[in-house]
Chain A
Amino acid sequence: MEKKFKPNIVGFLCNWCSYAGADLAGSSKTDVDSSLSVIRVMCSSRVNSNLVLSSLLWGSDGVLVAGCHPGDCHYEQGNYYARRRFALLKKITEVLNLEPDRIQLSWISASEGKRYAEVVNKFADDISKLGPNPITSNPKV
């Protein structure tokens, strides 16, 4: 029998909260799904639409953007802007029926190692339910 589909997920984590959270998950030896590849950015607001879109269009099965909880941003306001930009992307993908569930925004603080694991595992799980990103194999794109 052919083995279970293992998605390719890109995760942009903000340096101050989410990345630290991921580290904590590790140092407290929590199992985390390996289908997410972490990319460190200084702030979730650094992630512009192009990063998310081109990841998707070049075949990533899911994109996670994670930052500090609203109000906790190391740069005070960054994640609020990030949230707006994300809201826009989400809506567009929704309207265009481009599987909006493949992009996700999550707030994960430095102390939330457990939450990090939960979020990632859940997301990875949802994505593998969704199956491979159709765009990857879509010759029109």
Chain B
Amino acid sequence: MNKNIGVYVCECGPNIPERIDIDKVVKELSSLNEVKTVKKHSLLCSNDGKKFLKEEIEKEELSHVVVAACSPKDHENTFMKVCEEAGMNPYLFQLVNIREQCAWMIPDKEEATSKALKYIKAGIHRVMYHDPLEKKELEIKVDVLVIGGGISGIEASLSLAGPNRKVHLVEKTDSLGGMAGKLSQILPHQGSKIKLVKEKIEQAKNNENINIYTSSEVKEVRGFLGNFEAVIQSNQENEEGKVEEIKAGAVVVATGFDLYDLKENPAYGYGENENIVSALEFEDMINSEKIELKNGKKPKSVALVHCAGRKEKGYCSKVCCLYNLKFAHYLKDNLPDVEVKELYMDLCLPHKQDQSYFDQAKEKGVEFIRMDEIVKTKKSGDKIEVEYKNNDKTDKLSVDMVVIAPAMIPSKDTSELAELMNLPLDKSGFFKELHEMLDPVATPMEGVYITGCALGPRNIPESMTQSHATSGKILSSLIPGRKVKPEVKVSEIKEDLCTGCQTCLSVCFYGAISYDPFKGVSVVNEAICRGCGSCVGSCPSGAIRSKHFTYYQLYQEVMEALR
């Protein structure tokens, strides 16, 4: 096909002519027989500049356009729009950066000018190899699959479910509520009313747009944003193994956490004596309003041990300090003359109200003892002796009852689920955010979101917030009737060159590439690919090319550089 290439050099007001002899550039370019027309303009990104460009394209019937101006970061989109309006394929356009990376960094005018020429020629030869890429549009489903029926999962479901959006809520146990459901009460200043969780469960059950699958597991998840397919298997005794296939536009993972196994470290003496209990067991005592020793007596003194498993796991679980305070308050309020000792490493009270809550506890006479670690916890007489270390000297205290606060750890089927949906885990074994800072609920799999403690220790309000965050992300990307536009500059695989070594699979962070055993080749899912080109770099057969950054296009630039 014969290419009509137009080249337009933008002066950007005084900025570029200052350092680059535009007329020389235009003159020399006009001598190239590849190009149909070369013109300059004082400021192409201005409105009349854009108008001028549009008219030029139409008048000269250009098929390809090169603009030499500022950085593509500034105006690539601007000019691509103009090309599109002028009825040209916007990808047959190349913006050459002769301002930032030429006029503004090369002091010598002659040098800058010849450099600009180099760049523009490179642009011209590159654009000749551009392909007219087409934007695709995909129909989407708007329903959502939520995995995990804890408070996070429920909250997500509630805020997602709507008149034209169904939510499938899958819980592997036989009841909703998760860990939060087991708590006697949530921290007073964070909502003392335990009803709250129950209410939410009720709301979920009564919401006709939420299908609840209890005693069920997700066995398979395929697809991408807007088009997921999942297999849910029921484990209810009457319908053992019954599977259901559902379609969804997005997936929310809210599989929560488990608790550190106190038996792992004998120092806590857990299991050796009935009066050494875990925080969760103590919650039950509160629920049943029976704070008693095994001998039925009320405890006269209780030690609350923080940070069990912090050293072992290598992170602070953030909430233990607070619920220990909660216990202290409860004890003081219900057994007025009980003696409460809190053994802590660092008090972690990161929320604005926490401190006051701590101060109140102090006022009630709770004793706070700093320690570096628990050395031993053993029975002595009818008391329990807790031996602890505080900067290098050990100390003892003996009490009737010991309550130990274990660290939060990834729930046991986390890794399995990660495998299933090919989601990355972090060093601690929790799910990994797409971006720890800016995308705290997203994952590399676009359309799959994570909320609550599946991402790591956090308190209930935070979990709820994240659930709302996931629904925010989903509601803004899955709008009924709207189509998704996948990235266009993606990788594509030339099947007759691919030898099926699947190296590309292992380097693709987004799981966008899969292997087709029948054809014996790797296949790119364009809806998932983000176009980084890592696969291209990894393919020894040269079977993969990244659209708009193909070998030939880049190589034209190289050759120009070497001229």
In contact, B538 and A81 (Cβ under 8 angstroms) = yes
- What's the least CB distance linking A44 to chain B, in Å? 8
Which residues does A use to contact B, with CB under 8 Å? 8-10, 12, 19-20, 22-23, 25-27, 29-32, 34, 37-43, 45-48, 50-51, 54-55, 58-60, 74-78, 81-82, 85, 117
B100 touches A22 (CB 8 A): yes
Give the contacting residue for A78; candidates B111, B534, B542; CB below 8 A. B534
A74 to B533, CA, bound (A): 12
Residues on B with C-beta less than 8 A from A58 are 558-559, 562
* A25-B551 in contact (CB<8A): no
Q: Could you tell me the distance between the alpha carbons of A22 and B71 in the complex, rounded to whole angstroms? A: 10
Does B489 lie at the interface of the complex (its beta carbon under 8 Å from any beta carbon of A)?
Answer: yes
Identify which of B434, B554, B561 gathers the most chain A CB atoms within 10 Å of its CB: B561
Q: B118 within 8 Å of A by Cβ?
A: yes
Which residues of the other chain, B, contact A23 by a CB distance below 8 angstroms?
71, 73, 97, 100-101
Task: In the complex, identify which listed stretch (B102-110, B235-243, B368-376) lies at the interface while the others stay far away.
Answer: B102-110
Is A31 within 8 A of B534, CB to CB?
A: no
- Please name all residues of chain A whose beta carbon is closer than 8 Å to the beta carbon of B122 when the two chains form the complex: 37, 39
Q: Is the CB of A42 within 8 A of B531?
A: yes
**Bound form: Cα–Cα A90–B130 in Å:** 32
Known contacts A25-B105, A26-B100, A76-B509; A48 and B557 CB within 8 A of each other: no
Contact status B533-A42, CB under 8 Å: yes
Q: CB distance B561 to A117 under 8 Å?
A: no
Minimum CB–CB distance from B287 to chain A (whole Å) comes to 44
| Distance (whole angstroms) from the CB of A73 to the closest CB of chain B | 8
* Distance in Å: Cβ of A51 to nearest Cβ of chain B: 6
Which residues of B have CB within 8 Å of A85? 537-538
Contact digits for B101-131, partner A, Cβ 8 Å, 1 yes 0 no: 1111111100110010011001000000000
A51 touches B554 (CB 8 A): yes
When distances are taken between beta carbons in the complex, the residues of chain B under 8 Å from A12 are 554
Residues of B within 8 A of A (CB): 71-73, 97, 99-108, 111-112, 115, 118-119, 122, 434, 444, 489, 507, 509, 530-534, 536-539, 542, 546, 549, 551, 554-555, 557-562
Q: A37-B557, A76-B444 are in contact. List 8 more A-B contacts (CB 8 A).
A: A23-B73, A26-B103, A26-B105, A31-B106, A34-B105, A39-B122, A46-B534, A55-B562
Contact A117 B537 (CB under 8 A): no
Interface centre among A9, A23, A54, A55 (most CB of B within 10 A): A23
**Whose C-beta in chain A lies nearest to the C-beta of B556?**
A39
**Bound-state Cα–Cα, A69 to B169, Å:** 40
Known: A46-B536, A48-B537. A39 touches B561 (CB 8 A): yes
Q: Check if A54 sits within 8 Å of B549, measured CB to CB.
A: no
Instruction: Look across to chain A and name the residue whose beta carbon is closest to the beta carbon of B114.
Output: A34
Q: Are A26 and B99 in touch, CB under 8 angstroms?
A: yes
In the A-B complex, the 3 residue pairs with the smallest Cβ-Cβ separation, listed nearest first, are: A46-B533, A26-B100, A37-B561
Residues of A within 8 A of B531 (CB): 42
Contact, CB under 8 Å: A45 / B73: no
Q: A43-B534, A45-B537, A50-B542 are in contact. Are A22 and B101 (CB under 8 A)?
A: yes
Q: Are A75 and B101 in contact (CB under 8 A)?
A: no
Q: Which residues of A contact B119 (CB under 8 A)?
A: 37-38
How far is the CB of B248 from the nearest CB of chain A, in Å? 25
Task: Report the minimal beta-carbon distance from A111 to chain B, rounded to whole angstroms.
Answer: 14
Could you list 20 A-B pairs, sorted by A, with CB under 8 Å? A10-B561, A26-B104, A31-B105, A34-B108, A34-B115, A37-B115, A37-B119, A40-B72, A42-B531, A42-B546, A46-B533, A46-B536, A51-B558, A55-B562, A60-B562, A75-B534, A78-B509, A81-B534, A81-B537, A85-B538
CB of B533 within 8 A of CB of A41, answer yes
**Complex CA–CA separation, A45 to B133 (angstroms):** 23
A47 partner residues in chain B, CB cutoff 8 A: 537
Complex contact A42–B489 (CB within 8 A): yes
